[in-house]
Amino acid sequence: MKTAEIAARYLAYFEKNDHVIVPSASLVSDDPTLLFTVAGMVPFVPYLNGTVPPPFPRAADVQKCIRTNDIEEVGHTARHGTFFQMLGNWSFGDYFKEGAITYAWELLTGSEADGGLGFDEKDLWVTVYETDDEAAALWQRIAGLPAERIQRLGKEDNYWSTGQPGPAGPCSEIYFDRGPKYGRDGGPAVDDSRFTEIWNLVFMQDAIANVRSKTDFDIVGELPNKNIDTGMGLERVAFIKQGVDNMYETDQVRPVLDRAVALSGRPYGAEHEDDIRYRVIADHVRSSLMLLSDGVTPSNEGRGYILRRLMRRAVRAMRLLGVDGPTFPELFAASRDAMAPAYPVVSDDWTRISQYAFAEEETFLRTLASGSTILDLSIAQTKESGGTSLAGTEAFLLHDTYGFPIDLTLEVAEEAGLTVDRAAFDTLMQEQRSRAKADAKNRRRAIADHSVYRDYRAKGETIFTGYTDLETESTVLGILIDGLPADRVRTGQVAEIILAETALYAESGGQVADKGAIIGAGFEADVLDVQKPVPGLVSHTVEVTVGEIGVGDPATSVVDAANRRAARQAHSATHLVHAALRDTLGKSATQAGSLNRAGYMRFDFTWGQALSPETRTEIEEIANNAVRDNLEVTTRVLALDEAKELGAMALFGEKYGDTVRMVDIGGPWSRELCAGTHVSASAEIGLINLVGESSVGAGGRRVEALVGLDAFRDLAAERAIVSQLSSALKVPRDQLPARIADLAASLKAAEKKIAAFETQALAGRAPQLVADARRSGDVTVVAESLGNASSADDVRSLALQVRDRLGAGAAIVALGAVVKERPLVIVATNPAARESGVKAGVLAKAAASALGGGGGGRDDVAQGGGTDAAALPAALQAVVSALESARA
């Protein structure tokens, strides 16, 4: 049974049983404390904890998820994957334990001919919470399970909570017995490898508080509305129904694995370590494909960092399988073809997805090449110093700074006859993980904060009137000070104010929050920020400047009109620039993010190379022509499917409900889904001045523009600068470029002459340096600071000249200088010195240490550098001391 068919059967069954079928939410979670949707319940949290009233009593879905906590386990077990799909059915105060158990058993054991999944009853076991007699009795009555196939487990296994105060409850898990070849008999309590969990039924019935750990908390009462939250792992069911050993061999994943086998030429199933690598590749390529399809792009932070890590682990695994060149064009295409039937977007958006994927692989292959050079140098220095083990700090630096995988470091070091101080490396990695876990824990704590908004959200959605009004009278529904409810807030205090209606725009869709005030009888408050802490609820962070505000007081939200006008101009300009980009570059220039504030806009888009000045000018001209043409701006609220059929574009990372707001500028020329505020006609934008274009990672570019009066002021400032230059250089404006080019050429020629004079003067110091040479034991030493020098090559040339004049006896030359404000030391040794064991690379490293930098090189000539120019005398003394130590 194909994976997509299992999902279809699941949804059809629950639709037949009066569940609303909810489409999967994005992998990019709405929850600000989460990077990704890590579990099927994440999109439903506001309904489950009562923060937002559920729009339906029961629902079912297939939710896309990404979880990277166990990334090191990928490939090692049958069931660990970073991307997975969770089948869920949900009841919000509707059916409870009996309904959940009935539905699960009926679907699992129903015949395939009747739309069920066709599991044999004898292969299924269940676990229940140790005190949940009700669930155990229901399993016996509904499923006819014998008592020995119903196992009771404790809180660690069969009690669910978020780890925070709030809703919780016992759960019941359903397991499939894979048979004796997979482990011991005795049920899931004995062996959870042989007995694979396929479905978890959470009975959300308790309110908990005083949470001390996952298993240590107080149950303080029953929830007024009991909920059902279930999750069945689609990949787990698929590998069982398809008769394969693990999720990597299912129909949606195996094609990538097979393509990797074809590229490497090594068989699958013959060698344990190779098998793990193939599974990592199959999993990570699919996960990367799905993340890219939801608008995540590779970067060095946040979600982008996780994506980059997955992609680079796949490249690393292919390299360890003997493939050094690009493989993503074939691997990603294989994953696309496998996933497209379930997720057509991976095919529809292939141009953009592949652009990012292929560019990231190309970048990392270059990183591996440069990392190999750095590693080779570290290995050479380790050998020169007589060491047999590469320092753990060096391996960690390669991993953390250059993205060079530890597996490859171990492999290359072993080929060079060295080990790696893996214990030190692992310690550094653990410290990094601990910091990451602490950050994650801090983020998780914020989840509990949402509960403070529950009562306010229960009163209904905040009505936004700002599309038409700049002032709106309302009532203060709630006040929060430091996250806690309060009755009043006084002058000088900062608080969150919840209003029933507001004219102030809450930050979203790339548009920053409005500026403004909240006023009433006897009070005034400046608005510092406006956000939506939970869906449908607007919170105003304010500082009270006059009087005090109480819950229930009438209050008027007042928008700063000038700021709103400029923000509207910037947001509408963003739409025009997007349309102009697509006109100029083609449809593959797809939006990947934006930011709009008063007078400024930036727009990120998929594109693999810098825009030429001519292209930038063309984009700017098209956008400003649209301003000149005074195009009508219209907005419509309509069904999401209808908007998509009309060609409306959505911004990646934004979430859309069943109904959406569509903004047209000039009809279909610019048609986007957007909840932001806009001008009524394009001429109101005034002027768009593109001021920047830059890279935002592999395959991504960013344009920035000033808008309206800010654009005019910038151009006026440039005009003033041009006028000053024209006056100072005494040439007309149109001749400025030629005149400046002439001056630059003259300056460059003068600099060359000065450099030549400095080089000549430096070379003339050779006789005096030779005369000043001193003895250190049986070695002649020159260790002098030259002051400023034009280039490191000049210092190197002088060091070699001095060395060659010191005769055949053992001699070293160490010359320090400041080149372009950076200190360096060049060390040169002659054959006699090297024969006695003196190596330039070791001495240069000693100098670099004193300078606060790094160094090394060959035995005959080497260089050290750093950042502390004042330490040059100490660096030269360090060379002499290192020499004396080596000769002792």
pLDDT band per the 50, 70, 90 thresholds, residue 446: very low
The string of pLDDT tens digits covering residues 345-365 is 999 889 889 988 998 898 888
**Helix (H) or strand (E) run with residue 859 in it:** none
In angstroms, the CA 574 to CA 595 distance is 9
For residues 265-279, average pLDDT: 91
CA of residue 699 relative to chain centroid, distance: 15
3-state secondary structure of 627: helix
Where is the domain boundary, 537, 559, 581? 559
Do 132 and 116 belong to one domain?
yes
Pairing of strands 811-819, 774-776: unpaired
Task: Write down the pLDDT at residue 745.
Answer: 92
Higher pLDDT, 731 or 762: 731
Higher pLDDT, 401 or 116: 116
List the domain range (segments joined by +) for residue 819: 764-887
Q: How many CA atoms lie within 13 A of 557 on its CB side?
A: 33
In angstroms, the CA 570 to CA 675 distance is 14
pLDDT score of 444 more than 60: no
CA of residue 388 relative to chain centroid, distance: 38
For residues 34-47, average pLDDT: 87
Locus of tokens 């609220």: 637
Do 228 and 277 belong to one domain?
no
**How far are the Cα atoms of 193, 195, 196, 245, 866 from residue 190, in angstroms, in the given order?**
9, 9, 12, 20, 60
pLDDT score of 447 more than 60: no
Do 772 and 687 belong to one domain?
no
Name the token pair of 338.
């496998």
- The answer to the question of residue 738 being in a domain is no
The string of pLDDT tens digits covering residues 399-425 is 776 667 777 788 778 767 888 888 888
pLDDT score of 471 more than 50: yes
pLDDT score of 327 more than 50: yes
- The answer to the question of residue 750 being in a domain is no
pLDDT score of 92 more than 70: yes
The string of pLDDT tens digits covering residues 159-193 is 988 777 888 999 999 999 999 988 899 999 998 88
196 in Cβ contact with 173 (< 8 Å): no
Locus of tokens 């050079």: 373
Do 540 and 622 belong to one domain?
no
**396: amino acid identity, one letter:** F
**841: amino acid identity, one letter:** G
Percent of the residues in the chain that have a pLDDT greater than 90, as a whole number: 55
Task: Write down the pLDDT at residue 608.
Answer: 78
101 in Cβ contact with 140 (< 8 Å): no
Q: Where are the alpha helices (DSSP H) in 764-791?
A: 766-771
pLDDT band per the 50, 70, 90 thresholds, residue 618: very high
Do 239 and 292 belong to one domain?
no
CATH of the domain at 808: 3.10.310.40
pLDDT score of 268 more than 70: yes
Do 75 and 160 belong to one domain?
yes
pTM check: above 0.75: no
- The answer to the question of residue 276 being in a domain is yes
Name 125's bridge partners: 175
In angstroms, the CA 464 to CA 637 distance is 14
Name the token pair of 761.
């003067």
pLDDT band per the 50, 70, 90 thresholds, residue 435: low
Task: Write down the pLDDT at residue 101.
Answer: 96
Do 546 and 571 belong to one domain?
no
**571: amino acid identity, one letter:** H
Task: Write down the pLDDT at residue 29.
Answer: 84
The string of pLDDT tens digits covering residues 121-168 is 999 999 999 999 999 999 999 999 999 999 999 999 999 887 778 889
CATH of the domain at 492: 2.40.30.130
Do 148 and 184 belong to one domain?
yes
pLDDT score of 397 more than 80: no
pLDDT score of 442 more than 50: no
The string of pLDDT tens digits covering residues 482-523 is 888 999 999 999 999 999 999 999 999 889 999 999 999 999
Task: Write down the pLDDT at residue 330.
Answer: 97
* E strand segments, 144-260: 150-153, 159-161, 166-177, 195-209, 218-233
**469: amino acid identity, one letter:** D
The string of pLDDT tens digits covering residues 551-602 is 999 999 999 999 999 999 999 999 999 999 999 998 878 888 889 999 999 9
In angstroms, the CA 399 to CA 347 distance is 34
pLDDT band per the 50, 70, 90 thresholds, residue 632: very high
Locus of tokens 């989840």: 447
Task: Write down the pLDDT at residue 888.
Answer: 62
- The answer to the question of residue 727 being in a domain is no
- Residue among 103, 232, 96 at smallest CA distance from 169: 96
395 in Cβ contact with 388 (< 8 Å): no
Task: Write down the pLDDT at residue 15.
Answer: 96
Percent of the residues in the chain that have a pLDDT greater than 70, as a whole number: 95
**In sequence order, what are the residues at sequence separation of 6 or more whose Cβ sits closer than 8 angstroms to the Cβ of residue 132?**
152, 158, 170, 172, 203
CATH of the domain at 700: 3.30.980.10
- The answer to the question of residue 352 being in a domain is yes
Name the token pair of 882.
């290192």
185 in Cβ contact with 175 (< 8 Å): no
CATH of the domain at 212: 3.30.930.10
In angstroms, the CA 197 to CA 151 distance is 13
Q: Which residues are annotated as a binding site for Zn(2+)?
A: 571, 575, 674, 678
Do 688 and 837 belong to one domain?
no
pLDDT score of 441 more than 60: no
Q: Over 52-65, what HEC string results?
A: CCCCCCEEEEEEEE
Residue 185 region by backbone torsions, left for phi larger than 0, else alpha for psi between -120 and 50, else beta: beta
- Residue among 397, 476, 463, 402 at smallest CA distance from 432: 397
The string of pLDDT tens digits covering residues 201-229 is 999 999 898 988 888 999 998 888 899 99
Name 128's bridge partners: 152
Name 8's bridge partners: none
- The answer to the question of residue 705 being in a domain is yes
Residues across the chain: 888
For residues 418-438, average pLDDT: 77
Task: Write down the pLDDT at residue 546.
Answer: 95
Do 459 and 377 belong to one domain?
no
In angstroms, the CA 196 to CA 194 distance is 6
707 in Cβ contact with 600 (< 8 Å): yes
Least confident range from 136-150, 387-401, 869-883: namely 387-401
In angstroms, the CA 167 to CA 225 distance is 10
- 43 burial (CB, 10 Å; 0-12 / 13-18 / 19+) is buried
Locus of tokens 């060096």: 394
Task: Write down the pLDDT at residue 535.
Answer: 83
For residues 77-93, average pLDDT: 88
pLDDT band per the 50, 70, 90 thresholds, residue 77: confident
pLDDT band per the 50, 70, 90 thresholds, residue 658: confident
pLDDT band per the 50, 70, 90 thresholds, residue 654: low
Q: Which residues are annotated as a binding site?
A: 571, 575, 674, 678
Higher pLDDT, 301 or 199: 199
Look over the chain and give the mean of its residue pLDDT values, rounded to a whole number.
89
Where is the domain boundary, 205, 224, 248? 248
Where is the domain boundary, 512, 534, 559? 559
pLDDT score of 437 more than 60: no
- 768 burial (CB, 10 Å; 0-12 / 13-18 / 19+) is exposed
pLDDT score of 56 more than 80: yes
Task: Count helices and strands (H / E) in the chain.
Answer: 26, 35
Q: Where are the alpha helices (DSSP H) in 656-790?
A: 709-729, 736-763, 766-771
- The answer to the question of residue 723 being in a domain is no
Do 272 and 321 belong to one domain?
yes
- The answer to the question of residue 544 being in a domain is yes
In angstroms, the CA 324 to CA 322 distance is 6
pLDDT band per the 50, 70, 90 thresholds, residue 776: confident
Q: Taking the alpha carbons of 125, 130, 132, 137 in that order, is the dihedral positive or negative?
A: positive
**883: amino acid identity, one letter:** L
Least confident range from 73-77, 499-503, 528-532, 684-688: namely 73-77
Domain count, the chain: 5
Do 504 and 577 belong to one domain?
no
